[in-house]
Amino acid sequence: MRQAAPGVLLTLGLALLPIGAPLMAQDSVATAPAVPAPAPDTTKPAPSAPRPDSLVRRPHVSPLGALWRSFLIPGWGQARLGRNVTAAVFVTTEGICLGMTLKAEQERKWLRAMNDPRGESKAKEAQDWLVLLVFNHLISGLEAFAAAHLANFPGDLGLEVTPSPSGLHAEVTLPLPRP
């Protein structure tokens, strides 16, 4: 006798459960008792408004530190800067290039052992993947270096272009943090 998959049993079990009373948030009749709001305390200063996300300082990583981290392991410098998607792209590219280099090299050895003339083309393919691997290291390091320089740059840079009688009028806005 075949056993049912755990997912099927879970679905059937949830479907057979009795439906309970409606939740309080879904009941339009039930309301919470009104509680009067406390009087504002005028002896304390009002809390300051939270800083916009664009002015929040990122973890400090020196540009050269980010450069060397990403030269060593692509994506490490980006991860230290909080750029996780970019780090994942570099790590994935590194894995693909490394895997394909090893695969092409293994195929080249096998073709040479069989005295197949296609072994030379596999050697060139392995070299191509190796070049991409080195290129990924270089680009990862340079990107981390630039990202470290721009880590605390405000993100709300704006550009507005409007027509004027003399042509086009451009206005660039750059919010600066208050001292």
Residue 17 — pLDDT band, cuts 50, 70, 90? very low
| Position 170 pLDDT exceeds 60 | yes
Q: Which long-range contacts (CB under 8 A, 24 or more apart) does 71-74 make?
A: 71/137, 71/138, 71/140, 71/141, 74/136, 74/137, 74/140, 74/141
| Position 94 pLDDT exceeds 50 | yes
Q: What percent of the chain has pLDDT over 90?
A: 42
| Position 37 pLDDT exceeds 90 | no
The answer to whether 122 touches 47, Cβ cutoff 8 Å, is no
What's the confidence (pLDDT) of residue 59?
59
Domain boundaries, the chain: 58-149
What mean pLDDT is predicted for residues 89-118? 93
Write the secondary structure of 5-46 as one string of H (helix), E (strand) and C (coil). Answer: CHHHHHHHHHHHCCCCCCCHHHCCCCCCCCCCCCCCCCCCCC
